[in-house]
Every structure is written in C-alpha cells, then in structure tokens.
C-alpha cells in the first residue's frame, strides 16, 4: 500500500506522484476559500502543488540515506590490504641510520675521547681513524670499512631528510622495519579503519655488529579509503 505523506494544509494524500488524482480527507479543506472544498472527492494532483513538490524531495532523502548507510557499513581492509598499505608508509620505507662526523679538526687522541660513537665503530672493526695534517692544523678523519660503506651505498630504503642535511657527515643505514603481522582490524567510521601490527628490525651487517635489538614490537595505524584503495593516514610504530 502506498505511503501517506503530509502535504501542507491537506492532511494526507495517497499514491503521491504515481496517480493522476488523489482523495482529500474529510476535514482537510484549506483555509483559503478560493480553493474548492472537495473533502472525500477525487481531485487532480495538479491542484496540490505542495504534495507534488514533497514527493520528489522524499525520494532524494531516501536515496541520500541509502548512500550514507552503504558508506557507513563499508567493510574494513583485509589483512593483506592493510599490510600492503603499511609497507608503503613512510616508517616502513625509511631506514634506521647512524650519523657520524667524517672528520674533526683536532688530533685523533682528542677526537676519540669526545666521540663515543667513533670509538664504538672502530672497536667493532667497522671503521678506522687517521690523522691528517692540513694548513689549518691537524684533522682526525674517520674511514668506514669498505664492505660496510658499499652496503650502505646500495641500501634501497630512504634516509630521512634529517640525515641528508649534513654533507660533512657519514650517514650509515643499519636497519629497516620488517612487518610481522596485522591484527585487530576494525572500522572507525565511514571509509576509515584502524589496526594493530607487529614488526621488528631487519639488520644489515653494521646493524648486526652494533647489536640492535630485534625483538618484536607493537604499533598502531589508521587507514583511509580513497579511489586508489586503502592507504595509511597515520602510523605509530612505537618505541624503537
């Protein structure tokens, strides 16, 4: 049975927009005496512009509600989609690195005393220090082992801008994040989802010698859905 819609001074109308006539309800006569009093009689729909205007608006409202509900009920990303988005995010594309000054204007005995990172790399057999005499005075220069330097030069992950700013420094990648699993994927709104994930450091030769902790860590991420699929809008990997 067609729905009955309130139409201005007319109490209700049936089959609005689908029939040529409607029936005015008793007692529904308009206050304007210029309109015919037709309670209980069939009259042309054209005589009720209010009703004709209301019904298309109702259809638009229902369509909008259906679209909204469809968006609100969109499923979250699968574990595979979430993993793909995480691996494309900045934390997983950027290497962990160490920055060492390449040279210090002083004698090596003094330089090593004030540079514990130098002492560590030299003690692990990954670098050596040599003193060079220049017109400005003695300079202590750090030279990284050739195998370590070659591995750093061939590293495919990005180095953050903070590590590229100092041209006089040695920027040495030592590890990258490796994704272990994605869990607790949940919807957080229309086209928005959240998930927890586990990861660990994957080390290169320098990272292994430095003894970087590789125990699993837990992080959190937020995802948004756009025309290209799911992508991360926020990634918090937690403590390094």
C-alpha 101/C-alpha 167 separation (Å) is 9
Regarding pTM above 0.85, the answer is: no
C-alpha distances (whole Å) from 192 to each of 83, 188, 219 are: 15, 5, 17
Indicate the range of 154-163, 189-198, 222-231 predicted with least confidence: 154-163
Q: 68 falls in which pLDDT band (50, 70, 90)?
A: low
Q: 60 falls in which pLDDT band (50, 70, 90)?
A: low
What pLDDT was estimated at residue 13? 43
What pLDDT was estimated at residue 164? 54
| DSSP notation for 80-149 | HHHHHHHHTSHHHHB-EEEEEESEESS-HHHHHHH-HHHHHHHHTTSEEEEEEEETTEEEEEEEE-HHHH
Instruction: Kindly report, residue by residue over 130-147, the tens digit of the pLDDT.
Output: 999 888 889 999 999 999
Instruction: Kindly report, residue by residue over 21-44, the tens digit of the pLDDT.
Output: 444 445 444 444 444 444 444 445
- Residue 163 contacts residue 95 (beta carbons within 8 Å): no
Average pLDDT, the chain: 77
C-alpha 46/C-alpha 65 separation (Å) is 28
Instruction: Kindly report, residue by residue over 174-208, the tens digit of the pLDDT.
Output: 999 999 999 999 999 999 999 999 999 999 999 99
């Amino acid at each position: 049975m067609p729905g009955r819609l309130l139409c201005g001074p007319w109490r209700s109308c049936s089959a609005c927009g689908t029939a040529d006539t409607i029936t005015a309800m008793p007692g529904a006569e308009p206050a304007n005496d210029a309109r015919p009093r037709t309670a209980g009689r069939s009259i042309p729909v054209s005589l009720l512009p209010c009703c004709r205007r209301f019904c298309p608006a109702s259809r638009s409202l229902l369509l909008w509600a259906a679209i909204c509900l469809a968006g609100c009920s969109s499923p979250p990303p699968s574990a595979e989609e979430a993993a793909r988005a995480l691996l494309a995010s900045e934390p997983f594309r950027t290497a962990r690195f160490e920055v060492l000054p390449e040279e210090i204007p002083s004698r090596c005995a003094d330089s090593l005393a004030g540079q514990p990172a130098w002492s560590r790399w030299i003690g692990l057999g990954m670098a050596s220090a040599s003193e060079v005499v220049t017109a400005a005075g003695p300079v202590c220069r750090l030279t990284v082992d050739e195998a370590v330097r070659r591995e750093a030069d061939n590293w495919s992950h990005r180095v953050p801008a903070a590590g590229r700013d100092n041209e006089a420094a040695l920027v040495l990648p030592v590890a990258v994040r490796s994704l272990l699993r994605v869990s607790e994927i949940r919807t957080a709104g229309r086209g928005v989802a959240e998930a927890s994930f586990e990861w660990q450091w994957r080390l290169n030769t320098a990272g292994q010698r430095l003894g970087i902790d590789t125990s699993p860590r837990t992080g959190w991420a937020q995802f948004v859905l756009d025309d290209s699929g799911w992508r991360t809008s926020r990634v918090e990997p937690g403590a390094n």
